C-alpha cells in the first residue's frame, strides 16, 4: 500500500497551514503557559499529532503509528544514549570526588562567573557541538557550570543559549553536507554562505550571554574579554568555512577562542569579580586584580598531576570522540556492527510529492542501530576509561550508572515522545505544509527562509534533519522569486541555530543534566524570547543579503 502526502488536505492553504500549527501551538501552550511537565506535554502533543495525521491528512493508521514509534526509538537511540553517557561522565567526576579539583582549576584561570560562562558554555560547548553534537554540549557544559556553583536552572538556560553559534556546521559539517546532498547545490558554496551569516551571530552571542547574567554595566566591564572570545571565534569560523570547508569550523573556532580567552586572562583581569547573589563577593583593591585575588587563587591550587587526573575523563572524551568521528578506518571497523532495520508498515509506504520533491518519491524509513559507531558509545568508552583514570571501584562506577539512569527516566520519556511527534509531523506532511505556507510570502521570503529552518530544528532537534526536510523547498522557492537558492539553503541552516535552545530535545537534556527535571516549561519560557531575537537577526541578515548585499553570495 502506497500513500502520497497531501500538503493541502483542507483544500485551502491557509486553513491547512493553521491546522498544521495546532500540535506546535499546543506544545508551546503546555510548556510556556500551562507549565506542564515535559514528558506530559510531549505525550499529549504526539497524541494530537497522530490524530490530526489520521483524521485531517488521511494518513493510514499503520504508517502513522509506525512513524511515531520510529521517532520514539530514534529518541532513545542514538539521542537518549548520548544523554545517558554524557551525564554519566559528569557524574563520575562528582562521585569520585575529583570535581572539586576541576572547579578549582577553572577558578585558577578566573573566579569571575561571567568569564567562566564564556569559557565553558560558549567555547567548550562549541567544541563539544563540533565533535559530538546532539545533546552533548548542553549536558556536559551544563553539568560543569552547575558543579562550579552556578544556579542549576541558570546553568541550563545559559548553556542552551550559548549552543547556537556552532549548530549550523554541527558535528564535522554534517548539516551542510546534508543540505548540499538534498538541494544539489555545491557544498563549498553553502559552507561559504553560512560562513557569511552565522559569524555575525557568533560575535554577538558572548556579549548577550554575559548581558543576560550581569546586566549592561557589568557586561561593559568585561567587554575586552567578550570581544576576544567572540571575534576570535567568528573570524576562525569565517575563514575555515570559506577556505577549508564545512567539516572543521566548530572545532577550530572553539579551540581558538578557548586559547585566546585563556591567554588574554593571563595579562588582563576585570576590575571586580562577578559573583551571584548569595555568594561571597571577591572585590580586589582599587589597583585591580592583585593581592586579594592572588591569595584566593593561591589557596586553591593543586598539584598538576592531580588536576590532570581530574580532567582526564574529559580529555579521554575528546580523544575518543575525535577517533570515532575523524578516523576512516575506525569508522569502518565500528560500522561492521551497524544494523539497518526497515521500519515495518512505513518504509516505502509513504511518498513525498511536489513541490517538496520534483517528482513523487518514496520516503525511506530505515532505523539505524549502530551499537559501536554511535556517539553515545564513544562517550561510554570514555566513561569506562574514567573508571581507571579516576581509580574508582566497579561498585561505585555501577552505582553511579544506576543513579544516572534513574534520574533520566522522565527526560528520556519526553525525548522519545517529542521525537515521535517530529516523525509523525514529517511523514504525514504536516511539516511540509508549514514550510509551503511560509514559502508563499513572496518577496519577504528570504526573511521567512530562516524561519523555516528555525521551525525545522524546533520540530526535529537537529539542523541536519531540518536541512534534509526543507533544503529542496528553499531551492525551489528561490528560483520562483528570483533569489539565489544558495542563500536560502544556507539561511535554512543558519536560521535553525536559533531554535536549538528551544528544541524539546535540548530542553530535556538541559533539565536532566542540571537536575531540573519537571522545570522544562520554565526553561522553555526562559529561552524562547532569546530564540526569537536571534532568529530575527538571522532573518534580517538574509533579507539584506538577498536584495542589498548580494555581493556576499558566493
> Which position has the grid cell 499529549?
44
Determine the longest span between alpha carbons in the chain, in angstroms: 78
> Are 253 and 241 in contact, with CB atoms under 8 Å apart?
no
DSSP label at residue 272? S
- Output the pTM of the full model: 0.77
3: which strand partners? 350
Q: Which region holds residue 371: left if phi is over 0, alpha if psi is between -120 and 50, else beta?
A: alpha
> Are 512 and 405 in contact, with CB atoms under 8 Å apart?
no
Q: What is the C-alpha to C-alpha distance for residues 442 and 482, in angstroms, rounded to an integer? A: 10
Q: Which three cell numbers stand for residue 356?
A: 517538496
> What residues contact residue 411 under an 8 Å CB cut-off, 6+ apart?
38, 39, 83, 508, 509, 511, 512, 517
Q: What is the C-alpha to C-alpha distance for residues 430 and 440, in angstroms, rounded to an integer? A: 16
pLDDT truncated to tens, each residue of the chain (554 aa)? 689 999 999 999 999 999 998 998 898 888 778 878 878 888 999 999 999 999 999 999 999 999 999 989 887 887 788 778 877 887 898 888 887 787 777 767 888 999 999 999 998 888 878 766 666 788 788 888 888 888 888 888 999 999 887 888 876 677 887 788 777 788 889 999 999 999 999 999 999 999 999 899 999 999 999 999 999 999 999 998 998 888 778 878 988 998 999 999 989 999 888 888 776 665 554 444 444 444 344 445 678 888 888 888 888 887 887 777 666 677 778 778 888 999 999 998 999 888 877 788 888 899 888 888 877 888 899 999 999 999 999 999 999 999 988 888 887 888 788 778 878 988 998 888 887 887 788 889 899 899 988 988 887 777 877 787 678 778 878 877 888 989 999 999 999 999 999 888 788 888 887 888 788 888 989 999 999 999 999 999 999 999 999 999 98
How far apart, in Å, do the first and last CA atoms of the chain sit? 44
Q: What is the C-alpha to C-alpha distance for residues 163 and 171, in angstroms, rounded to an integer? A: 13
What count of residues does the chain have?
554
351: which strand partners? 4, 362
Q: What is the C-alpha to C-alpha distance for residues 246 and 463, in angstroms, rounded to an integer? A: 14
> What residues contact residue 281 under an 8 Å CB cut-off, 6+ apart?
273, 275
> Are 325 and 370 in contact, with CB atoms under 8 Å apart?
no
> What residues contact residue 108 under an 8 Å CB cut-off, 6+ apart?
297, 300, 301
Q: In the chain, helix, strand, coil percent, each to 5?
A: 75, 5, 25
Q: What is the C-alpha to C-alpha distance for residues 470 and 292, in angstroms, rounded to an integer? A: 56
Amino acid at each position: 500500500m502506497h500513500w502520497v502526502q497531501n500538503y493541502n488536505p483542507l483544500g485551502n492553504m491557509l486553513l491547512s497551514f493553521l491546522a498544521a500549527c495546532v500540535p506546535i501551538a499546543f506544545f508551546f501552550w503546555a510548556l510556556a503557559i500551562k507549565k506542564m511537565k515535559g514528558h506530559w506535554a510531549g505525550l499529549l502533543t504526539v497524541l494530537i499529532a497522530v490524530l490530526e495525521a489520521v483524521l485531517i491528512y488521511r494518513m493510514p493508521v499503520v504508517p502513522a503509528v509506525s512513524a511515531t514509534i520510529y521517532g520514539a526509538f530514534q529518541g532513545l537511540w542514538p539521542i537518549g544514549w548520548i544523554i545517558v553517557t554524557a551525564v554519566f561522565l559528569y557524574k563520575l567526576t562528582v562521585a569520585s570526588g575529583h570535581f572539586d579539583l576541576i572547579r578549582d582549576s577553572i577558578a585558577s584561570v578566573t573566579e569571575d562567573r561571567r568569564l567562566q560562562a564564556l569559557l565553558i558554555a560558549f567555547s567548550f560547548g562549541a567544541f563539544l557541538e563540533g565533535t559530538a553534537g546532539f545533546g552533548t554540549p548542553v549536558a556536559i557544559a551544563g553539568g560543569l557550570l552547575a558543579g562550579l556553583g552556578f544556579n542549576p536552572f541558570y546553568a541550563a538556560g545559559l548553556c542552551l543559549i550559548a549552543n547556537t553559534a556552532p549548530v549550523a556546521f554541527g558535528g564535522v559539517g554534517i548539516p551542510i553536507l546534508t543540505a548540499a546532498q538534498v538541494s544539489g547545490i555545491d557544498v563549498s558554496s553553502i559552507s561559504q554562505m553560512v560562513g557569511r551569516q552565522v559569524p555575525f551571530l557568533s560575535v554577538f552571542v558572548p556579549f548577550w550571554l554575559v548581558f543576560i547574567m550581569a546586566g549592561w554595566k557589568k557586561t561593559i566591564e568585561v567587554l575586552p574579554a567578550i570581544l576576544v572570545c567572540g571575534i576570535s571565534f567568528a573570524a576562525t569560523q569565517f575563514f575555515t568555512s570559506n577556505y577549508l570547508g564545512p567539516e572543521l569550523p566548530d572545532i577550530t573556532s572553539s579551540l581558538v577562542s578557548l586559547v585566546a580567552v585563556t591567554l588574554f586572562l593571563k595579562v588582563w583581569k576585570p576590575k571586580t569579580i562577578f559573583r551571584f547573589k548569595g555568594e561571597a563577593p571577591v572585590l580586589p583593591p582599587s589597583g585591580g586584580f592583585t593581592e586579594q585575588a592572588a591569595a584566593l587563587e593561591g589557596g586553591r591550587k593543586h598539584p598538576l598531576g592531580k588536576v590532570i587526573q581530574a580532567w582526564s575523563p574529559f580529555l579521554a572524551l575528546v580523544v575518543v570522540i575525535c577517533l570515532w568521528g575523524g578516523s576512516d578506518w575506525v569508522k569502518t571497523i565500528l560500522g561492521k556492527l551497524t544494523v539497518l532495520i526497515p521500519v515495518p508498515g512505513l518504509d516505502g509506504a509513504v511518498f513525498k510529492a511536489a513541490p517538496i520533491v520534483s517528482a513523487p518519491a518514496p520516503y525511506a524509513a530505515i532505523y539505524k542501530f549502530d551499537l559501536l559507531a554511535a556517539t553515545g558509545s564513544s562517550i561510554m568508552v570514555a566513561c569506562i576509561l574514567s573508571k581507571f583514570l579516576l581509580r574508582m571501584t566497579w561498585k561505585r562506577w555501577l552505582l553511579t550508572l544506576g543513579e544516572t539512569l534513574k534520574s533520566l527516566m522522565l527526560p528520556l520519556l519526553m525525548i522519545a515522545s517529542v521525537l515521535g511527534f517530529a516523525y509523525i509531523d514529517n511523514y504525514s506532511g504536516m511539516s511540509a505544509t508549514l514550510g509551503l505556507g511560509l514559502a508563499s510570502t513572496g518577496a519577504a521570503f528570504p526573511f521567512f527562509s530562516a524561519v523555516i529552518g528555525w521551525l525545522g530544528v524546533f520540530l526535529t532537534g537537529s539542523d541536519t534533519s531540518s536541512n534534509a526536510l526543507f533544503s529542496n523547498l528553499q531551492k525551489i522557492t528561490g528560483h520562483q522569486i528570483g533569489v539565489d537558492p544558495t542563500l536560502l539553503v544556507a539561511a535554512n541552516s543558519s536560521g535553525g541555530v536559533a531554535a536549538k535552545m528551544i528544541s524539546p530535545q535540548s530542553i530535556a537534556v538541559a533539565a536532566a543534566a542540571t537536575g531540573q527535571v519537571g522545570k522544562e516549561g520554565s526553561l522553555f519560557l526562559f529561552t524562547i524570547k532569546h530564540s526569537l531575537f536571534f532568529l530575527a537577526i538571522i532573518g534580517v541578515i538574509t533579507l539584506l543579503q538577498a536584495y542589498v548585499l548580494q555581493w556576499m553570495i558566493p
